[in-house]
Amino acid sequence: MKCTQYLSVLLLLLLLPVLTWSQQKIMLHQNWEFQQKGASLFYPATVPGTVHQDLKHAGVIEELYFENNEKQYQWIEEKDWIYQTNFELDAASLAKDQQDLVFEGLDTYANIYLNDQLIGEANNMFRTWRIPVKQHLKLGENNLRIVFRSPLTENKARVENAPYTLPAGCETVPLKVSPYTRKAAYHFGWDWGPRVVSCGIWKAVYLETWDKARIKHFWGNTVALDQAKASINLSLELEKSPNYQGKLSIRIDDKKYELTTLQNEKPQSFLVEVLQPKLWWPHTHGEPNLQAFKLQLFAENQLLDEQTLRMGIRQIELIHEKDSVGTAFYFKVNGQAIFMKGANYIPQDLLIPNVKPAQYKRLIEQSVAANMNMLRVWGGGIYEQDLFYELCDEKGILVWQDFMFAGSMYPNDTSFLANVKAEIADNIKRLRHHPCIAVWCGNNEMDVAWHNWGWQKQYQYSPSDSSEIWQNYLQLFHTIIPEAIKTLDPMRAYTSTSPLSNWGTAENFNHASMHYWGVWHGREPFKNFNTNVGRFMVEYGFQSFPAMASLKKVMHDSSLHLNSIAMKNRQKSYIGNGLITKHIERNFRPANSFADFVELSQKTQALGMKIAIQAHRKTRPHCMGTLFWQLNDCWPGPSWSVIDYEGNPKLAYQTVKENFQPVIAVMDTSQQSFKIHLISDAIVSFQGKLVLKVKSSDKTVIEKSYPIYLPQHGQKVFSLKRLNKKLATLSRDNLEYQIQVFNQKKELIFKDQMQY
């Protein structure tokens, strides 16, 4: 090579950015120990983790979910706990402009000490805490100590000195602190899980060192879309070191932008175009394609930071408006109205760090396999881990995302509202880039509870009390949260509460979102699912027991009967076992053993789910969504789940899978004459064959075959006039029918059978 060529290559290399990263993340997950405050003994601790997990590993307590242990360990919530670790820091890390200690999740009240200096206080499980610590660090060994304070002692005076009692979810203890505590509501007990008020460093903790500037957030929105191109608004938020006054630039993929001005906390946006975009769809309607954008931040030619955004190019709308029936409530994705099929999701454990990545992956895959296209992250749990949303993005599952408020009313003091505002901002910023998120929802059942559950009488509120509490509600869910969304995520829809309509009257089923609990809390029969169908069914369901194998892992053999103390404690619903028994005997027969009862409970649940889902689907477009309660469990016990704590599908899971298929056939036996509803949610037309078999008690068998054609998202009703004349001659006692649907390849794609 000639000398001039060497010089050219050398000059080119000098002009290229120096790819030495300024930013360094030092994970602080090692060498932790913990103790009860006031005790002398320390035990090894796991981070991320919880005090309950650490006490078990230390041998102080036994398995939390075995028998009645959860009641024996209530003392843990009354104590304060100390966690500490030592970590080494070298001169290179200390030399950086900035050193930030980052806690992605502390549960909940905590004082944070670095080298014996109080550097911060946490008071919200749902927030990320970033603390500049440069002045507190030293070369060599550093000590980090966190003192967790009991939510009970923290809030005791607030509860006792409050001018009125606030409704407190499902808390049953005398001192109800959950409305004042920004912590997962279900930790204080619910009607499908025990009370386990834990604490700990429940998410990642690390020291982040950086020079000059860093990327805080990078996200994008689809602002315009057609077949030829998509216009994407890419936004970024940076943080600059006060010590740096030089120029910054960014590169998005191959395009460079100079940043002439930079203000911390003020986002900057850049419009890019994608030609022939591959759109993101729910998996039931297309491919969940993801588009990657790489952002690099430079000071002169030095690479300071980089992030890759994986976003879906898609547009989603919530249609919530008056129509000829009442008030519509449905979703459009990329301009197409989609019937939503799915479930309510709760955290997979009471001790959240117990849940491994493989469990997240399995549960989302089970949801996809069951033909679901939407999951609701319920407001009494947590804003889920990043992995949950990443999997939903990849697999094409839409997410109805509640904010974490459920079944309570909340205080309105300045510090509480400031805390909530920070929580809302943290989580919108963390999650807004995910294409899976379809809608933000303010809370679970607070509006409907205030107006229908008799709280005013129960808590003896004066007119001024009631007015103040309701104004607090309006301020939070009609002003603070929607204003935050308008600022931080304006392309996303918001609904203030779920449900918007109560199931108490027939007219209400014509309006918006609905939680229908006539079957269960109203003690109504399953047939009432057919006549109580709302515009978008966000909750409904029926309980069953987990498999015997799952129960045997947490119960002595001697406790495996309904009247044992442990089994009674395992049922957290006030009407649970009696109502299950009643429906078993109404729809099948009395159980002859506990194992038989468990199996019949699952059969009963499956029957109820089938009737409900079929009723919802056959009334499309009146109803445009069916999300049953609930997908999964947080501990091994009876509940409304279709997948138990161990990850085992119940019988109802298969029923859901079958009735969420794109094409189904529903026999309508509500009148004296029968008819069949054919329903398709498929994105293409369907052609095939319907086979109906009817068998009566006198062994008479009728079999009929019908060619069928359904357009895209089509429906058809077979009135069966000729067949009904023949059926009229048969005894209706023990009349059974079977429906089968075959596609053009003569493959059986759906079957159903029922006794009349």
Is residue 198 domain-shared with residue 222, that is, in the same domain? Answer: no
CA pair distance 735, 695, nearest whole angstrom: 6
Q: How confident is the model over 30-58, as a mean pLDDT?
A: 97
- Specify whether the CB–CB gap between 503 and 516 falls below 8 A: yes
Q: How confident is the model over 539-562, as a mean pLDDT?
A: 97
Is residue 201 domain-shared with residue 239, that is, in the same domain? Answer: no
Is residue 259 domain-shared with residue 143, that is, in the same domain? Answer: no
**Domain annotation covers residue 723:** yes
**Domain annotation covers residue 526:** no
CATH of the domain at 127: 2.60.120.260
Partner residues linked to 145 by β-bridges: 84, 113
| pLDDT given at position 756 | 64
| pLDDT given at position 245 | 86
**Domain annotation covers residue 227:** yes
Domain end residue (candidates: 184, 207, 230)? 207
CA pair distance 601, 604, nearest whole angstrom: 5
- The string of pLDDT tens digits covering residues 497-531 is 999 999 989 999 999 999 999 999 999 999 999 99
Q: How confident is the model over 175-193, as a mean pLDDT?
A: 97
Contacts of 733 (CB under 8 A, 6+ apart): 696, 697
pLDDT-derived band at 215, boundaries 50, 70, 90: very high
- Specify whether the CB–CB gap between 447 and 496 falls below 8 A: yes
CA distances from 402 to 265, 468, 477, 530, 635 (A): 25, 24, 12, 28, 22
Q: How confident is the model over 692-706, as a mean pLDDT?
A: 82
- The string of pLDDT tens digits covering residues 596-630 is 999 999 999 999 999 999 999 999 999 999 999 99
Domain that holds residue 671: 663-755
**Domain annotation covers residue 83:** yes
Whether residue 4 is predicted with pLDDT greater than 60 in this model: the reply is no
CATH of the domain at 293: 2.60.40.10
**Closest among 388, 291, 310, 304 to 347, alpha carbons compared:** 388
Whether residue 697 is predicted with pLDDT greater than 80 in this model: the reply is no
| pLDDT given at position 483 | 98
Cβ–Cβ contacts within 10 Å for residue 684, how many? 11
- The string of pLDDT tens digits covering residues 123-161 is 999 999 999 999 999 999 999 999 999 999 999 999 999
| pLDDT given at position 13 | 35
Is residue 183 domain-shared with residue 84, that is, in the same domain? Answer: yes
CA pair distance 388, 424, nearest whole angstrom: 19
Whether residue 300 is predicted with pLDDT greater than 90 in this model: the reply is no
CA pair distance 392, 316, nearest whole angstrom: 15
Which DSSP string do the residues of 426-478 spell out, in sequence order? HHHHHHTT-TTEEEEE--BSHHHHHHHS-HHHHTT--HHHHHHHHHHHHHIII
- Specify whether the CB–CB gap between 177 and 195 falls below 8 A: no
Three-state SS for 230? strand
| pLDDT given at position 19 | 39
- The string of pLDDT tens digits covering residues 342-353 is 999 999 999 999
Total residues belonging to the chain: 756
CA pair distance 653, 666, nearest whole angstrom: 18
**Domain annotation covers residue 584:** no
Given the residues 67, 445, 539, 599, the one annotated as active site: 445
- The string of pLDDT tens digits covering residues 704-734 is 899 999 999 999 998 887 777 777 776 666 7
Whether residue 587 is predicted with pLDDT greater than 60 in this model: the reply is yes
| pLDDT given at position 527 | 94
Q: Are strands 109-114 and 117-123 parallel, antiparallel or unpaired?
A: antiparallel
| pLDDT given at position 265 | 58
Whether residue 8 is predicted with pLDDT greater than 80 in this model: the reply is no
Domain end residue (candidates: 278, 309, 340)? 309
| pLDDT given at position 718 | 85
**Domain annotation covers residue 693:** yes
| pLDDT given at position 43 | 98
Is residue 261 domain-shared with residue 116, that is, in the same domain? Answer: no
Domain end residue (candidates: 257, 281, 309)? 309
Q: How confident is the model over 78-86, as a mean pLDDT?
A: 98
- How many percent of the chain have pLDDT more than 90? 87
- The string of pLDDT tens digits covering residues 377-432 is 999 999 999 999 999 999 999 999 999 999 999 999 999 999 999 999 999 999 99
Is residue 224 domain-shared with residue 189, that is, in the same domain? Answer: no
Whether residue 234 is predicted with pLDDT greater than 90 in this model: the reply is yes
Is residue 131 domain-shared with residue 256, that is, in the same domain? Answer: no
445 is catalytic: yes
Is residue 60 domain-shared with residue 199, that is, in the same domain? Answer: yes
Is residue 177 domain-shared with residue 228, that is, in the same domain? Answer: no
**Closest among 586, 581, 615 to 601, alpha carbons compared:** 581
- The string of pLDDT tens digits covering residues 259-289 is 866 655 578 999 999 999 999 999 999 999 9
**Domain annotation covers residue 642:** no
Is residue 63 domain-shared with residue 169, that is, in the same domain? Answer: yes
Give yes or no for a cis peptide into 108 (omega within 30° of 0). Answer: yes
pLDDT-derived band at 18, boundaries 50, 70, 90: very low
Whether residue 698 is predicted with pLDDT greater than 70 in this model: the reply is no
Q: How confident is the model over 169-177, as a mean pLDDT?
A: 94
Whether residue 652 is predicted with pLDDT greater than 60 in this model: the reply is yes
Lowest mean pLDDT among 610-624, 638-652, 658-672: 658-672
Is residue 679 domain-shared with residue 733, that is, in the same domain? Answer: yes
CA pair distance 377, 403, nearest whole angstrom: 9
- How many percent of the chain have pLDDT more than 70? 95
Is residue 145 domain-shared with residue 231, that is, in the same domain? Answer: no
User: What HEC string does 196-212 produce?
Assistant: CCCCEECCCEEEEEECC
Rounded mean pLDDT of the chain? 93
What is the number of domains present in the chain?
3
**Domain annotation covers residue 258:** yes
Specify the pTM. 0.94
pLDDT-derived band at 10, boundaries 50, 70, 90: very low
